[in-house]
């Protein structure tokens, strides 16, 4: 029977084989400090119309509620920094959405990850999560020693910045734990706060989600974006990368080697006029596997109209 150390080594090597650049492991425990921060954030209505953030509060802060008997939380990180950037005069799209929908790409890798663990180690219980579940993935990444949470709310790695997708696997398997990442290397830098077009980044690493451009262009389901935001979007049509683009640590960003994240040509090249003339049928065909489908054709046209008028 393999030892805890051998199982840990196997999991770290498996993560690399499946294309994850980072893998860290933390002890599964209730996140009491995060519970207090999340409660305050919700009470101050910083989630806007994202009412789903109020759901499953206990599950978000206690991994044992998601996986009974949880012992370890494995954090996996996948680089998505693109080799090519958009043309300068095109409506801006967040880099995470350049290629195929990361939920599908990472979920497939997570399922393979779990299957391999069960084949090698035995009938362990575990659940994998990619962004769309009640898991505080950035906290677990920090507790796993992978980086620190920056003033912009993103997990920042010292070696290669913050353009990473984070996946979380909660399991009842006993593993060796990594030391948490203690130091905050943001220092006195406030570039992300200063450059945020809508002043959504507050002191003490608090993000007012209800003022974020990503919220308005992706999460907001109303067909009208508030007039108070007029002229503040800096041509962002889907999401926003300003707080990452200005972060000094992202000068160390490396190009992803994941072919699934290869930019869709239209995202790089379509002009404002071409976007406005795009039919719904063409949109569905071109972006069928893209994160842009979340906003739907009507949402993209709403956003486009808002930033050009």
Residue positions annotated with a catalytic role: 131
Return d(Cα 75, Cα 158) in angstroms, integer: 16
Tell me how far apart the alpha carbons of residues 155 and 225 are, in angstroms, rounded to a whole number: 29
Residues linked to residue 224 through DSSP beta bridges, in sequence order = none
How far CA 146 is from CA of 33, 83, 211, 284, in Å, comes to 19, 23, 28, 37
**Which residues neighbour 72 within 8 Å (Cβ) at sequence distance 6 or greater?**
25, 26, 27, 28, 170, 171, 172, 173, 174, 175, 177
Pairing of strands 92-93, 236-238: parallel
Of 188, 160, 165, 190, nearest to 251 by C-alpha is: 160
Helices 4-17 + 102-121 axis angle, to 10? 150
Distances 128 to 10, 59, 167, 229, 266 between C-alpha atoms, Å: 18, 14, 7, 37, 32
With CA atoms as reference, report the closest residue to 299 among 241, 234, 201, 214. Answer: 214
The C-alpha angle 21, 236, 40, rounded to 5 degrees, equals 70
Cross-strand partners of 165: 78
* Structure-token pair, residue 232: 């503040």
């Amino acid at each position: 029977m393999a030892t805890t150390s051998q199982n840990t080594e196997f999991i770290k090597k498996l993560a690399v084989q499946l294309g994850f650049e980072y893998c860290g492991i933390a002890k599964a425990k209730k996140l009491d400090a995060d519970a207090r921060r999340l409660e305050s954030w919700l009470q101050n209505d910083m989630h806007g119309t994202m009412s789903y953030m109020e759901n499953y509060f206990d599950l978000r802060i206690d991994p044992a509620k998601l996986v009974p008997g949880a012992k370890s939380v494995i954090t996996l990180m996948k680089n998505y920094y693109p080799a090519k950037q958009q043309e300068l005069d095109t409506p801006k799209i967040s880099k995470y959405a350049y290629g195929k929908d990361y939920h599908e790409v990472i979920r497939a890798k997570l399922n393979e990850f779990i299957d391999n663990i069960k084949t090698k180690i035995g009938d362990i219980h575990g659940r994998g999560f990619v962004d769309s579940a009640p898991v505080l993935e950035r906290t677990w990444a920090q507790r796993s020693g992978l980086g620190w949470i920056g003033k912009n709310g993103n997990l920042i790695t010292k070696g290669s910045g913050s353009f990473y997708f984070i996946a979380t696997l909660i399991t009842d398997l006993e593993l060796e734990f990594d030391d948490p990442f203690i130091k905050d290397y943001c220092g006195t830098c406030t570039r992300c706060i200063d450059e945020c077009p809508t002043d959504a980044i507050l002191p003490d690493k608090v993000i007012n989600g209800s003022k974020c451009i990503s919220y308005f262009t992706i999460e907001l389901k109303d067909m009208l974006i508030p007039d108070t935001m007029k002229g503040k979007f800096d041509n962002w049509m889907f999401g926003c990368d300003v707080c990452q683009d200005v972060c000094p640590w992202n000068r160390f960003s490396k190009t992803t080697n994941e072919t699934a994240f290869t930019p869709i040509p239209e995202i790089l090249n379509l002009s404002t006029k071409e976007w406005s003339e795009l039919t719904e049928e063409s949109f569905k065909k071109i972006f069928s596997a893209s994160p842009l489908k979340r906003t739907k054709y009507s949402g993209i046209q709403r956003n486009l109209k808002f930033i050009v008028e």
